[in-house]
Structure formats: structure tokens, C-alpha cells
Structure 1
Amino acid sequence: MTSSPLGPRSTAIGGLTVTVDPGSAVPPYEQLRVQLIDAVAARAMVAGAKLPTVRGLAEALGIAPNTVARSYRELERDAVIETRGRAGTYIAASGDATQRQAQDAAAVFATRIRQLRIDPADALELVRAALMVD
């Protein structure tokens, strides 16, 4: 994270760096909203990617939690993201119901892998082996 008392603040979300400039004529919630939409459109953020909590992202960017919450509400309204209750906020699945089901299955798998403390690279090898068709 980079910061300046009056200048732009940036933080990483997965492989994406988001920046909010409080001195910009564009409101901070809109800056965040547009960057996430652009990242999804460019496939820099993929379906199922988990987003930071409202409070966590607000703190990282030095903005009010209500500002992040507004961005998230508008993104959810536009089906760019989805909130799964206490499980968090994720980039929404695009496409048909089978894509959604696959995303849900992957999320359950990822949660279980983390619980088991399995290395992600090892988990991916397990999935590759399970998907192999002779």
C-alpha cells in the first residue's frame, strides 16, 4: 500500500492495484467502482475472486467504510459482485447456471483446502488429476 496524506492511496486486491485519489473530481466510491468493473471486464479479476471486507478496504485506502459500502452496493446491484453473507464478497459469476454451480463448488473446495492447510499448488494438482479423462 502506498499513501500520502493528501494524495492518492493504493492497495492490492489479488493481482489488481486499486487507487483512490481524494483530490479527484470523481467521488472515491465511483473511482473504486469503475476500477473494479474495468478489472472484471479485462479479466484481471475473475469470477469467484474474493474481495476485501468493507472495513479492510476502507482502511487500506484511507477512506470511510460507507464509501466502500456504496461502491459494493452499486456493484452488487449491477451483478458485478455478490455478497455471500458472512462468507464475504466475491466477483460474481458470469454466464449460465452451470458456471455458477462450478464457482460454488470451487469456493467450497477452496475453503476446505484452507481448513486442511493444504498448499494451493498441491490442491491444484489434485484437481488436475481428478479432471483427467482417459
Structure 2
Amino acid sequence: MIEPLVTIDSTRPVPPYAQIRDQIADLVEAGGLAEGARLPSVRQLAGDLGLAAGTVARAYQELESGGYVTTRRGGGTRVARQPVAAPGRRSALIERHAREYVDSVRRLGADRAEAVAAVLTAFDASPH
């Protein structure tokens, strides 16, 4: 299941449906969700995240349009077959997120030591 891996940050300017879409797409691209893996139902994920069902439905629709998932009536939403990932795709995703983090903490005036300390603290506190 993906529930513990998908989180919503209400302080971000990114709408919740886009956060869901982006996180699931990253998981699929990085191999964290294998072909055929079943995603939670719209209602289940919405309830788990405290969101309206329409928000999750929009994320799933965009994931389907992007070729990340397929939805069949009675069969649920499943991860679609993906093209063979380029070597290093997972590393590239991690680096992209690291750059986004660095950009964010620099805007806050943090130096390298503060940024690294915050990452280590977050890793130690994370249940994953």
C-alpha cells in the first residue's frame, strides 16, 4: 500500500491533488510501486489523508492520463506497465528533490550545516 508513503503538506502552495499525483508518479518511476500494484480506492486514500474524494479522484485521473496507472471497474486502480526506466532514474529523482530542498532552505537563510542537520533529524524521526 502507499498510504504511509503519500503525505500532504498543507503549508505548501501546491494543491493536494498535485502532491498526491507527484508523489505516486515518483514512486512509480523510482520502482517503489511495481507494475500491477493496486492503489487504495479513492475513498480509502481520501479518508486516510483527510481529503475530499474528488481531490484523490483528480490525482488518479491525472496519473491515468500520464500513463502511470490504469483503472478498471471492479478491478481498482493499478500501476501500469512503464517503459524501461533509464539507468539512474531513482538517483535523478532523489537529486531533483534534494535540489528543491536546498532551494527552499536557502530562501530561509539556512547554511549547509543547518540544512544537513535538518535532513539527518528528519531521517531519524521518519517511520520509513
TM over 0.5: yes
- How far apart, CA to CA, are the structure 1 residues paired with 2:9 and 2:82? 30
Identical amino acids, percent of aligned pairs: 45
Task: Give the aligned partner of residue 72 of structure 1.
Answer: 60
With structure 2 as the length reference, what TM-score do the two structures score? 0.61
- How far apart, CA to CA, are the structure 2 residues paired with 1:25 and 1:37? 19
Task: Give the aligned partner of residue 13 of structure 1.
Answer: 2
* Higher share in strand: 1
Task: Give the aligned partner of residue 55 of structure 1.
Answer: 43
2:35 corresponds to 1:35: no
Aligned residues: 84
Letter paired with 2:39: L
- How far apart, CA to CA, are the structure 2 residues paired with 1:91 and 1:67? 19
Moved over 4 A (4+): none
Task: Give the aligned partner of residue 92 of structure 1.
Answer: 80
Q: Relative contact order: is structure 1 or structure 2 higher (C-alpha 8 Å, sep ≥ 6)?
A: 2
Give 1:87 shift. 1.1
CA displacement, residues 22-42 of structure 1 (integer Å, 9 cap, x when unaligned)? 222000000000001100111
Give 1:95 shift. 4.3
- How far apart, CA to CA, are the structure 2 residues paired with 1:66 and 1:89? 15
Specify the structure having the higher radius of gyration (Cα).
Answer: 1
Q: Which runs of 5+ in 1 are unaligned?
A: 1-11, 97-134
2:81 corresponds to 1:81: no
Letter paired with 1:13: I
Task: Give the aligned partner of residue 32 of structure 2.
Answer: 44
Q: Which runs of 5+ in 2 are unaligned?
A: 85-128
Give 1:60 shift. 0.1
